[in-house]
Structure 1
Amino acid sequence: MAEAAMGEPAVRLCVVVPCYNEEEVLPETARRLAAKLSSLVERGAIAPSSRVLFVNDGSRDATWALIKELHADPARLGVEGDAPWFEGISFAHNEGHQNALFAGLMRALDEGFDCAISLDADLQDDIDAMDEMLEKHRAGTEIVYGVRSSRGTDTAFKRGTAEAFYGFMRWLGVELVSDSADYRLMGRRALAALSGYREVNLFLRGIVPALGFTTDKVYYVRGERFAGESKYPLKKMASFALDGITSFSVKPIRWVTLLGGLSIIVALAMFAYTLVSLALGHVVEGWSSLMVSIWLVGGLIMVSLGIVGEYVGKIYLETKARPRYIVAEATDGVAHDGELRA
């Protein structure tokens, strides 16, 4: 990576790392990030006042205790160097990955950092890609996406469902960056624009591309999880996909109207068939067709109610205007009331 131009100040970088029950992997994550930031400072790519911000999303293990230890005395956990790299905030309750990520990005904005790079704590994202991200940002790119160069490490099921999800979202008209999760760089202008999004049901993979600004991509090979278990099992992945669909498109509700219209057409056709059969004197038992019709229509009604109910539920959550999260504790000793972010 090219060093900062002569006389041009190095950017203040905040690396945002959401954490939920990450005690097994956190010390190693901290060691690698400290080494990376030290290297970037030596080359003039970032300012010495850059930081790593861990966001504890209501973990039930020792994650928050480790974050406080990394802030107070990182050497005890094997982190080399004297720079005070680590800061942390802790939620009062588990609020979900997207809220934790948003909280860290808003903290970076509030504290005046020039840009923020978000990544997961499991070390699957290649932190060496940060070099190219920063280079592209220095060249004027406001948002740089980390994109997987392949999905060779995924199972066939996960690879297939991911491709189906991205394809389905594009069909709905939602702008997404394929094979890109939440590993990205955002400049200060993009962070400021993101702060204006007030919805409770956050889907940052759809919101960030909607911000506009200049964008670019950095390709990297996604590795295996260093330790611990994935925080996105099938159930959470399905819920996350549903949030993405219902947060950015009303097409499913329009499908309800279409299904209702098709049901009426089928009913009229069955009524006409019945009249013709009676006129011709045919004996029509009708039990099987009646049962099939009842189950079909009943199923359509239940599915339709479920789709409409999903949207009504989201409206209900939005109208209550409750805070997305509450910061209970921070390593700087200040919980920051402004971080209740309604």
Structure 2
Amino acid sequence: MPDISSRVQESRVPRQPGGAALVSYVLPVFNEQDGIRHFHEELVAALGERPEFTYELVYVNDGSSDGTPGILEDIAKNDRRVRVVDFARNFGHQMAITAGIDEARGDAVIVMDTDLQDPPAVSLRLIDAWRDGAEIVHARRRSRQDTFFKRATAHAYYRLLRSSTDVDIPLDTGDFRLMDRRAADELRRFRERSRFVRGMVASIGFRQSEVRFDRDERFAGETKYPLRKMARLAIDGLTGFSTAPLRMITKLG
């Protein structure tokens, strides 16, 4: 991994030994000034339904060039559960997830996007599955509000990846998932530069389950994963978890 220059706003929530379980949310953010306040309000409302847990919310600002940093700073001032990690520049979604997991201190760690395509209420179902004994809980998309092209290419890619690797990477899942503390610590041992986090999580074992949900439309702004970035992530997945490209190159040679 590169040496990421960042600023971390320290949590003001002391962990109470023997107290309620702490659930950490890792929340990568890039140029979300139009929707980040609304996302935070929705998340806070969802967490209010489960007061038996304590929470920390780790927002990772991935070098946003709009008003996002100032908004996150204001959110942190008004919610003592919030921590903010600021990247000096844009390092990408997978690095933002990695940095957030490195900072998270909870008994369980939930990774989710902040554009409300991952509904905060669904994260409570991930917690329920964790309390029932699962150590990794994947949020699997039952449906998604995207263009036909994106739905079709994602559907084909996940099945191609699964058919060409020995790692059982769950179908139709992004990075929205929960990891138990043990699983998160194991994932932190992976320090590759070109990262495909969902493949890494699938490869580490532990008791894994899934929760199905309907993925909503983006609340505001534009997608932060255009075709070029999606292609790069797909290549990282194929080269990192499949021997098919190597076999193809060997045959061509």
- TM-score, length of structure 1 as denominator length: 0.66
Match for residue 9 of structure 2? none
Please, what is the CA RMSD of the aligned residues? 1.4
Equivalent residue in structure 1 for 2:71, among 56, 66, 71: 66
> Over residues 98-130 of structure 1, what are the superposed CA-to-partner deviations in whole Å (9 max), with x where a residue is unaligned?
00011111101xxx3111111101001121112
* 3-state SS in 1 of match to 2:215: coil
Equivalent residue in structure 2 for 1:250, among 228, 231, 243: 243
For the Cα contact (< 8 Å) 1:148–1:222, is it kept in 2? yes
Q: Percent identity?
A: 40
The 2-side partners of 1:143 and 1:188 are apart by 10
The 2-side partners of 1:255 and 1:234 are apart by 24
Report whether the alignment pairs 1:89 with 2:82.
no
The 2-side partners of 1:162 and 1:179 are apart by 8
Counterpart amino acid of residue 99 in structure 1: M
The 1-side partners of 2:103 and 2:82 are apart by 14
Report whether the alignment pairs 1:204 with 2:197.
yes
Q: How does 1:46-57 map to 2 (within 5 A)?
A: 46-47=53-54, 50-57=55-62
The alpha carbon displacement at 1:198 in A equals 1.6
Q: How does 1:285-300 map to 2 (within 5 A)?
A: none
Report whether the alignment pairs 1:15 with 2:25.
yes
Counterpart amino acid of residue 160 in structure 1: A
Match for residue 317 of structure 1? none
For the Cα contact (< 8 Å) 2:26–2:101, is it kept in 1? yes
Match for residue 103 of structure 1? 99
* 3-state SS in 2 of match to 1:147: strand
The 1-side partners of 2:158 and 2:175 are apart by 15
Runs of 5+ consecutive residues of structure 2 not aligned to the other structure? 1-17
Counterpart amino acid of residue 249 in structure 1: S
For the Cα contact (< 8 Å) 1:67–1:87, is it kept in 2? no
The alpha carbon displacement at 1:18 in A equals 0.1
The 2-side partners of 1:155 and 1:91 are apart by 31
For the Cα contact (< 8 Å) 1:17–1:120, is it kept in 2? yes
The alpha carbon displacement at 1:171 in A equals 2.0
The 2-side partners of 1:222 and 1:216 are apart by 18
Match for residue 120 of structure 1? 113
The 2-side partners of 1:136 and 1:27 are apart by 28
Q: How does 1:123-272 map to 2 (within 5 A)?
A: 123-151=116-144, 153-173=145-165, 174-260=167-253
The 2-side partners of 1:30 and 1:85 are apart by 12
The alpha carbon displacement at 1:9 in A equals 4.9
- TM-score, length of structure 2 as denominator length: 0.89
Q: By percentage of residues, which structure has more helix?
A: 1
> Over residues 7-46 of structure 1, what are the superposed CA-to-partner deviations in whole Å (9 max), with x where a residue is unaligned?
x9531011111001111111101111111222211xx2x1
The alpha carbon displacement at 1:58 in A equals 0.7
The 1-side partners of 2:176 and 2:39 are apart by 15
The alpha carbon displacement at 1:251 in A equals 2.4
> Over residues 293-332 of structure 1, what are the superposed CA-to-partner deviations in whole Å (9 max), with x where a residue is unaligned?
xxxxxxxxxxxxxxxxxxxxxxxxxxxxxxxxxxxxxxxx
The 1-side partners of 2:95 and 2:39 are apart by 21
Q: How does 1:266-281 map to 2 (within 5 A)?
A: none
Runs of 5+ consecutive residues of structure 1 not aligned to the other structure? 1-7, 74-82, 261-342
Paired residue total: 235
The 1-side partners of 2:65 and 2:146 are apart by 28
For the Cα contact (< 8 Å) 1:34–1:85, is it kept in 2? no
The structure with the larger Rg is 1
Counterpart amino acid of residue 224 in structure 2: K
* 3-state SS in 2 of match to 1:128: helix
Counterpart amino acid of residue 93 in structure 1: R
Q: By percentage of residues, which structure has more strand?
A: 2
For the Cα contact (< 8 Å) 2:56–2:106, is it kept in 1? no
The 1-side partners of 2:155 and 2:131 are apart by 32
Counterpart amino acid of residue 251 in structure 1: A
The alpha carbon displacement at 1:217 in A equals 0.8
